[in-house]
Amino acid sequence: MPPSTDLLQGTLDVLILKTLALEPMHGWGVAQRIQQISKDVLQIGQGSLYPALHRLEYKGWIESDWGASDNNRRAKYYSLTRKGRKQLEAELATWERLSTAIALVLETPAS
Amino acid sequence: MRELLSRLRFFFSRTPAGALDEELQFHLEQATQANIAAGMTPEEAHRRARIEFGGVESAREQTFVQRPGWWMETVLQDTRFALRQLHKSLGFALTAILTLALGIGVATAMFAIVDGVLLRPLAFPHAQQLYTPVGIDATGEEMYGVSYAEIKQWQEATRNSAEIAFERGDADILDTPSGAQLIYKETISANLLRTLGVQPMLGRGFLPQEQEECQSHVALLSYATWRALFASNPKILGQAVRIGGQTYYVIGIMPPHFEYPLWGNKIEVWTPVARSALENKQEYMNHMPILRLKPGVKPAIVQAELSSVQAHIAQAAKPGDEVATHVRLTALRDSIVAGVRPALTALEIAVVLIWLIACCNVAGLLLARLASRRVEIAVRGALGAGKWRIVRQFLTESLLVSAAGAVIGLGLAVFTLQVFRRTLEKQLPLTRNIHVNPAVLLALAGFTLLTGLIFGSIPAILAARAPLEETLKSGGPTSSKDRGQARLRNGLLIGEIAVSMILLVGAGLMLRTVYALRHVPLGFRTDHIVLTSFTVPNYDYKGRDLNTTLWDPLLERVQHLPGVQFASLSTVMPIGHTMELLTDVSTPGTTKSNVTAVVRAASPDQLRVLGIRMYAGRFFNAQDTPSSMPVAVVNRAFVQRYFNGKNAIGEPIRFGTVPMRATIVGVLDDVHQEKAATPIQPEIYVCMDQLKPGNGLYIPLLGWFMELAIRTQTAPGAMIPELRRVIHRENPDLVAGDFTTMKQAVEDSIGSQRLAARVVGIFGGLALLITVVGLYGLLSYSVAQRTREIGIRMALGADRARVMGMVLRQALMLLILGIAMGLALAFWSTRLLHSFLYGVSKHDPWTLAAVPLLLLLCGVISAFVPARRAAFVDPMVALRHE
């Protein structure tokens, strides 16, 4: 299957990868972290978070492991694989190019 | 590929569904904790967390869809569901599967036959370059065989474009360790094997000089001959064997599947044609040529070359000689299968029709089922199943049905071919190629898929198109769309009935033909007669009288066996045996010039064995000896043709150039000699005992072939082993052919019609069965669907008879429409059968009347069950129904 071109889904994927690049985390943690860092701008709906996590896992970009959470509950921790790290770099580069391009278009003074 | 592997990995190592639940639960708890930390009460915190989270179910489902194995899981799910559905309505499933199995089974068997005989390349390298040149005379008739002189000129003319080889075959006698054996000796040109592109499996082929030198007697054995008669002994190479009294050295064994000419599994030996024989006048004619085009040469060019040579030959020929005026090239396969192609094509059409009926039938059944499953589909749609998913569900169901049908059908095809193999070998060339091979399996897979798609797609598309709300609201099938579907179903069934009509009319005509053939008065009795034939080793009897040293003692021995009433010998006995000696005869009393007749020798008891009656005069007796007056007996056809029916007794006969005269002493009733269906020829019998060595008819009538007929007191078949043993002991050099009974010989003589009748009969029966099942299914569903309506009618006072009449009327209408259509089609299509018919018109009124009656009867019987069910509907139950 070719990589999805869906912008939103692709964006969510790269956000998750970036978040997990710092440290292994469970689903709740990922959502919280993205929300915090984006200063509550990006709130991840759980309806799309878990499908995305599982999709990334099936693609082999992240892997999961059951561990104990801070309050000693069993939780599923996700971490980045080597393949995932490469993918993140590629996605970041793409994002860089794309956002620069969009910025160029949008910042052109209206005449 | 990696994608697929990953899918498979996740498919097999599926994470338990509980893991996802736990993960989601954890998320909820964390959210609740966070809310509590933000100062909410636990209940409120939990409520808010759930609201924020949204639909747990939907999240779970979305996550599942991400699984790479998801697609396959849904296929499995569909399959499981389909199996459950089929199990639930076992009657429907079995009907559909068996119907399809029959359709696919006959189609596969027939395809195997057509593939083997008409399509599969012949087992020679570059077989497409092989052609048979056939001489055509001035009237456009094909000539049988070509003379060596002509072949030599052909070879000369096509030196650069083709290679021409030739062959002629004769029955002959091979002496083996276990006694004399009848074989087919094919005399071939030295270049035949090279032309065909075949090498012997052991040893070598013929050298050109072996065709030239008259004294080099070498032979190639067929694999079957080698195995059966020489126990596969490789030391046979270089050894001498005796064929027809001559010594030949075995120089090679041909590979197992080699046969030439390409018909039958005869025991064959090949020897090179010798030049002396080629130049000998007697063997001058009747070589069968074969031609291989040089690479890149078009057949039309060679045909033109050959025709121009042949035109010269025809010009130079003496007037009155039968000479071809031009030459036609036929591809080797076409020349072999030309006779059977029309029949096979007709049968192929028949099985395609049966297959179509089967498909229509199952489509009809599925449509009917769809009507009753409308609510279920709507519910599934309402619960979120997509249109594509519903279509797939139906396709899965029909593919399952057709796959099951295909597997059973394959078994059926293998079984059918096994049962018919012997009959096929008798009736068809190239039967060696007939088996269910990969090509046939591929065709089967294609059929299956096609069947599944054809009858799966119609209901599936209809199901997906059905609007949900309406169906759910009405709670049952009532809409006008149903009427459209009912029309489609009725149309399918009318088509089925019409097609069955065609097949049944064909079967009826063939049965009438076989009946007519069986009831032709043959002119002789067929009961209690054993027949066998001998190939005479006349080279062993040089200088001895065959009558006194061979035939008289044999007849004497057989006559005195217990259980034997009479025994007689004749050059040719009636039925099936086409070898005949045709001579010019002249009698002073004839009213026509050019008189020809079949001549045979016979012993005195001939009439008593066969039960033939004398029309006038007498037959031979013990007083007819070599020293008494030579006598002859003719048949009525002879008298009719050459004496205009006047008295012929006492007239002298002269036999062509042979210095022999005989006096006609009796006239026989006519007897069907060759086949029941062929007209009777003028015949002359001469007395065996009066033929002496030196007489021109002695060798042709006594020294090549002889047949023995025995009238037994008990069942003739039971005597065969004893007879075989006695004859072998009496004379081990004498090669007896098959032993058979006269009844069997008569049956065999109508073998092709019998086979056709049987095959078409089976096809007709299948079509009838499938159609009746279809009608039954359709009416059953229609009654089930109309239960409510019927209940209302009965509540309003309709009685049982009226309700039954209603259902039967529906059946009758379908039947009558189908039969009318079928009659029109049958009227046109029976011309395909024309060449098989005997004693019955292709528009035989009896058949055309009986078949519709049969269909009507079967149809009404099958309609009776659902009609009865309708009549016994309980109005109270029916109204509460649904």
Complete DSSP assignment for B518-564: HTS--SS--TTEEEEEEE--GGGGTTS-HIIIIIHHHHHHHHTSTTE
Beta bridge partners of B661: B654
Nearest to B710 by CA among B701, B721, B700, B720: B720
Percent of chain A clearing pLDDT 70 (strictly above):
89
* Angle, CA B132 vertex, CA B129 and CA B137 arms, to 5°: 145
pLDDT digits (tens, 9 = 90+) for B638-697: 888 888 878 888 888 888 767 778 899 999 999 888 777 788 888 899 999 998 887 878
Indicate the residue of A31, A47, A75 with minimum beta-carbon distance to B62.
A47
Q: Please give the Cα distance from B630 to B546 (Å, whole number).
A: 18
CB B405 within 8 A of CB B97: yes
Q: DSSP characters for B634-671?
A: EEHHHHHHHHTTS--TT-EEEETTSS-EEEEEEEEPP-
Cα separation, B139 vs B692, in Å, equals 42
Model pLDDT, residue A14: 87
Q: For residue range B621-646, what is the model confidence (pLDDT) as tens digits?
A: 989 988 899 999 999 998 888 888 78
B29 touches chain A (CB under 8 A): yes
Instruction: Answer yes or no: are the C-beta atoms of B641 and B679 closer than 8 Å.
Output: no
Is the separation of the CB atoms in B499 and B767 below 8 Å? yes
Q: List, for residues B770-781, the tens digit of each pLDDT value.
A: 888 888 888 887
Whether B234 shows a pLDDT value over 80: the answer reads yes
Any residues with CB less than 8 A from the CB of B486 and at least 6 apart, and which?
B782
Alpha-carbon distances of B401 from B225, B460, B776, rounded to whole Å:
48, 14, 19
pLDDT in tens, B736-768: 778 889 988 888 888 778 888 888 888 888 888
Q: What burial class does residue A39 get, using C-beta atoms within 10 Å of its C-beta: 0-12 exposed, 13-18 middle, 19+ buried?
A: exposed
User: Cβ separation of B54 and A55 shorter than 8 Å?
Assistant: no
- Interface ipTM above 0.85: no
Q: Which of residues 37 through 96 in chain A touch B, CB cutoff 8 A?
A: 45-48, 50-52, 54-55, 58, 60, 69, 71, 73-76
The structural domains of chain B, with segments of one domain joined by +, span 2-68, 73-121+337-478, 144-323, 497-520+744-882, 529-713
Per-residue pLDDT, B17: 61
Task: Give chain A positions within 8 Å (CB) of B24.
Answer: 46, 50
Average pLDDT value over all residues in chain B: 82
Alpha-carbon distance of B827 to B76, in angstroms, equals 50
A66 min Cα distance to partner chain B (Å): 10
What pLDDT is recorded for position B483? 67
Of B34, B58, B66, the CB nearest to A55: B66
Q: Where are the domains of chain A?
A: 7-107
Residue A2 clears pLDDT 50, i.e. is over it? no
- Name the phi and psi angles at B695, rounded to 5: -70, 135
Residue B63: name the closest of A52, A69, A40 by CA. A52
pLDDT score of A111: 58
Characterise B875 by phi-psi region: left (phi > 0), alpha (psi -120 to 50), beta (else): alpha
Burial group, residue B621, by CB count within 10 angstroms (0-12, 13-18, 19+)? exposed
Contact B790, B878 (CB under 8 A): yes
The per-residue pLDDT for B85 is 80
Residue B634 phi/psi, 5-degree rounding, is -115, 165
Measured over the CA atoms of residue B572, residue B574, residue B578 and residue B580, the dihedral's sign is: positive
Asked if the Cβ–Cβ distance from B6 to A69 is below 8 Å, we say no
User: What's the rounded Cα separation, in Å, for the pair B532 and B706?
Assistant: 9
Choose from A30, A33, A46, A61 for mutation: most chain B CBs within 10 A. A46
- Answer whether B3 touches A (CB < 8 Å): yes
Mean pLDDT, rounded, for B421-430: 78
Among chain B residues, the shortest Cα distance to A60 is held by B6
SS3 label, residue B180: strand
CB-based contacts of B259, cutoff 8 Å, min separation 6: B222, B265, B266, B268, B432
Whether residue B707 is predicted with pLDDT greater than 80 in this model: the reply is yes
- B554 or B283, greater pLDDT: B554
Q: What is the pLDDT of residue B466?
A: 65
Q: What is the pLDDT of residues B779-823, one digit of tens each?
A: 887 887 778 888 888 888 888 888 888 889 988 999 999 999 999
Are B380 and B472 in contact, with CB atoms under 8 Å apart?
no
The residue whose two tokens read 């002298």 is B652
Q: Are strands B631-635 and A25-26 parallel, antiparallel or unpaired?
A: unpaired
The answer, for B22 touching chain A at a CB cutoff of 8 Å, is: yes
- Which of A44-53, B12-21, B528-537, B866-875 comes out lowest in average pLDDT? B12-21
Question: In this complex, how many residue pairs, one in chain A and one in chain B, have their CB atoms less than 8 Å apart?
Answer: 61
Please give the pLDDT value at position B291: 92
Range B429-434 average pLDDT? 78
The matching CATH number, chosen from 3.40.50.300, 3.40.1160.10, 3.60.15.10, 1.10.10.10, for A7-107 is 1.10.10.10
- Please say if the pLDDT value at position B137 is more than 50: yes
- 3-state SS, A18-65, equals HHHHHCCEEHHHHHHHHHHHCCCCCCCCHHHHHHHHHHHHHHCCEEEE
| 3-state SS, residue B175 | strand
- Residue B26 touches partner A, C-beta closer than 8 Å: yes
